[in-house]
Each structure stands twice: as C-alpha cells, then as structure tokens.
Structure 1
C-alpha cells in the first residue's frame, strides 16, 4: 500500500474558527498567483525534455496572470505571493489526493520523488500564504484574498463566452455580496466585456481558496478567484481591463466601508 503524502501545517484547523461572531473589520488585501510561470526546476529538466509546447500552453501556466497580480498588488500596496514553477510539476491550486495534483509528466514518479516535489514547492507556497493570512487576522484585519488566474479562450473545441469571472463560494454570503458588487461596478467601467459569476469555473470546487476556507471563518477571510480570458490579455484592451479592475476594486472596497490597508 502506498503511503499517503504528508500534509503541511496549512491543512490543520486554525484557532480562528473558534469564534463564530460576525463583525466588520478593516480589510487587508492579499494577492496570489499560483500559476505565474512555466519554469522547470533543473533536477526535473530531463522529464520535460521535448515538452516546451505544453509548458508554454495553458496546461503549463496562466499566461498574463502574474502581470495582472503584480499590477494590482503594486497599486494597492498589498502583499503578493506567487509561483513561477509550472503547474505541470505540481499544481499549487489542487489539494493533496486530487487526480490532477501531478501531471502526466510527474504522476509516474515514485512516491518518494513526489514527496520531494511537495516539500520543495507545494507545502512552502501554501504555508507562506496560510501564515500571511493568519498574521493579518491576528492583527485584527479581515483578509480579502484575491487569487489571480487566466484561462484559455477555447476548451474542448468550444469557445468560452466569459471575459472576466469572479469566483466565490455561494455559501459564503460576504464573498457572494462582494463579487456581485464588484461585477456590477466593473461592468459600469467596461460594458463591452462579458462578466460572469462562478464561471468559467465554480468557486467552491477543489482549489486553494476553498482549502483556506476550511481554516478561516468568513468574518476573518474572504477568498475570491479572479479569472481573466487570455484572449483579452492578448488584445489592445489589456490596459483598459487592468485599469477597470483597479478602479472597480477600489470603488467596491469604498462602498463596503472597508479600508485598503
């Protein structure tokens, strides 16, 4: 029988869950980008020999997502945690045990080698984000975590109609309200774009934000995934989209009477 992979401290319950009262707190933003590049660690270069085409495709990374995350973090003077290791090495947005945690290149590796990958890249990333959130909560803040992603315009030979997606857990009322408001304000800034809630993916399926929700109460933590169609990031409207994201997020924070710092 194969031994299960060891889990990081981010998998354990957090003492923040003990208090169930809800109250308004000043907000602190945290931006992350789990799929910011297509780098391959030197020790695994031989495994990916001849895989350049896949590494530079949507399978290997979220093109343009890190640039967006950088711009947002810079404007709001917020912390940004990101990884440029390809998701084909290990997918930081998948939970331990998920069938797509490892790709077809790394899945055949021995369990010991997979554990090394987790210890080197997966657990340190997740633990860094976890500790950052916990520290902010301990200081009395409500953490608004925005995980930035991009998605391929065509999936399974079908063109996607979503330009911008705001993903949240529908059972988290504050997340839902925030995303509805953000969508409304963003649409006012850029009416030509198609903006959806919980599309092209659902916000409560397996992912890093959903994992963090298991450790932090809604009064302390809001986890939102920002999904951007890659065709829009490759177009002339890229800069306008970025400015619209910044202005709409700023306005949304103001309307919720939340502080940016």
Structure 2
C-alpha cells in the first residue's frame, strides 16, 4: 500500500517501505503557490522544464513501488525554491533560467529569501533527514530529468549517473547499465552545483548515494515512466548487490 503523509510543501510516500533505498525527487512539481502570483510567468513557462523535471516523479513512484522504497518529493516548483540547492546559492531562487526571466524572483530581498527558505526548503530538509535517519542502512537515490536540447545544442546522453566525492554507487550502476547512452556526471556534474542533496544527506554521513538524470523525451508518458522505473530498479538492485547491500527486503 502506498501510504502518503502530506504537508503543503513536501510529500512522503511509502514511509514504511522496507527497502534500504530512500528516493528523492526535489523537482517533482511545477506548482507555484497562489500568493506568489505565478512569479510573473506565462502558462508556457510555468509548465515548461524550467519549473520542474517532467516525468521524474512518475519514474520515482515506479521505483518506489518496485523496490518498496520510501520517496520524499517536493510539492513546489524549483523556481519557488530549488530544494537541491543551499539557501546561499543564487539559483536556489533563480531570477532567470535559460531564455526566461523570472519576474517574481528578480527583486527578492534578503528577508524574502529567508522567508522562502523557511517556508519551502527547511521543511523539505527536515523531512528528508528524518526519513533517512529512520533507515538502518540508507541508500540515497535522487531522480531528475533533463531536456534533449539545451541552448540550441542536442544532448546525446540519455541517462546521467551523477556523483560527488562518493562514487561507489555510481560506479556500480555504470557497471550494470546495459542499454541507453549512459554517462558519468552528464549532462551536469558536481561543478554545476547539482549535488547538494547528495553532499548534505549522503556524503556527509557516509551513506551510499547517487543522482540519476533521465532525458525527458524518454519519459513523456506514464508507460514510458513505468518502463524506465523498472529498468532503473533492476540496475539499482544489481549494483547494490555488488556492493553488498540488499535493495529490497522480502
């Protein structure tokens, strides 16, 4: 049963999951709270990839089901607060993203940024930390998606396996990847500031961790997301077994 514990800004699904894997989807939603007046964006921008990671939550939910793994996901757009960034990062509340200006973020004061941090990031941070601490041998796996074309350039990579200082799980997954164009730290890497969750919750505590980026044209439909979730579940199970960790306990 997929029990859920919801607050306004974060959802915990399958909280009693038996798996050692703890799934995270920081960019699960394009929701912008009413009081923020759509951040001044038109409908196209609000539903585009700049506001969230299309398909990522569907993949994460399938993984959660296949592995009986707890899933922590954000309920607000990353333009409101990017839960994979620390408060001091400029792009935690970006004033622009690719070709888009974000009017509602352009004149944020220090007090505004602090309020956003307290309202959206801190609850997510606390909830995720609590779920991790409830596991005896947690394995942190974050799920993201990226666009096939970025600033006019096509991306050949289909799945990125990202890591920061701890590359144990990334190495093991890369050894299992038997289909798709799979690359290490692509299309982003640690130098791009995308490994915040991994560093804070994984590396700092010695927990196995990895970030999986999926090109979003591969996960456009529910069937696509389900298929991808099954592929990743198989990779994770084999990779963790190689390391000596059981991904899903019967």
The answer to whether the aligner puts 1:202 opposite 2:189 as a matched pair is yes
Pairing partner for 1:95 from 86, 108, 112 = 86
Question: Within 5 A, what are the aligned runs for 1:1-261?
Answer: 28-45=20-37, 47-104=38-95, 105-136=104-135, 141-169=136-164, 171-172=165-166, 176-187=167-178, 190=179, 193-203=180-190, 205-206=192-193, 207-213=196-202, 215-216=204-205, 218=206, 221-234=207-220, 238-259=225-246, 260-261=248-249
Measured against aligned partners, the alpha-carbon deviations of 1:20-58 in whole angstroms (never above 9, x if no partner) come to xxxxxxx7110010000110112112x534432112111
8 Å CA contact 1:162–1:199 kept in 2: the answer is yes
Measured against aligned partners, the alpha-carbon deviations of 1:111-148 in whole angstroms (never above 9, x if no partner) come to 32332221111110011112222332xxxx22110010
Equivalences, count: 220
* Structure 2 residue matching 1:109: 3-state secondary structure: coil
8 Å CA contact 1:153–1:160 kept in 2: the answer is yes
CA apart distance, 1:205: 5.0
* Structure 1 residue matching 2:138: 3-state secondary structure: strand
Larger Rg: 1
Moved over 6 A (4+): none
8 Å CA contact 2:172–2:240 kept in 1: the answer is no
> Structure 1 residues 226 and 115, CA, compared in 2 at 3 Å: closer, same or farther?
same
TM-score, normalised with respect to structure 1: 0.77
8 Å CA contact 1:61–1:86 kept in 2: the answer is yes
Q: 2:8 matched to which residue of 1?
A: none
What is the alpha-carbon distance in structure 2 between the residues aligned to residue 178 and residue 223 of structure 1? 6
The CA RMSD over aligned residues, in Å, is 2.2
What is the alpha-carbon distance in structure 1 between the residues aligned to residue 157 and residue 190 of structure 2? 15
What is the alpha-carbon distance in structure 1 between the residues aligned to residue 157 and residue 23 of structure 2? 22
CA apart distance, 1:208: 1.8
Q: 1:17 matched to which residue of 2?
A: none
TM-score, normalised with respect to structure 2: 0.80
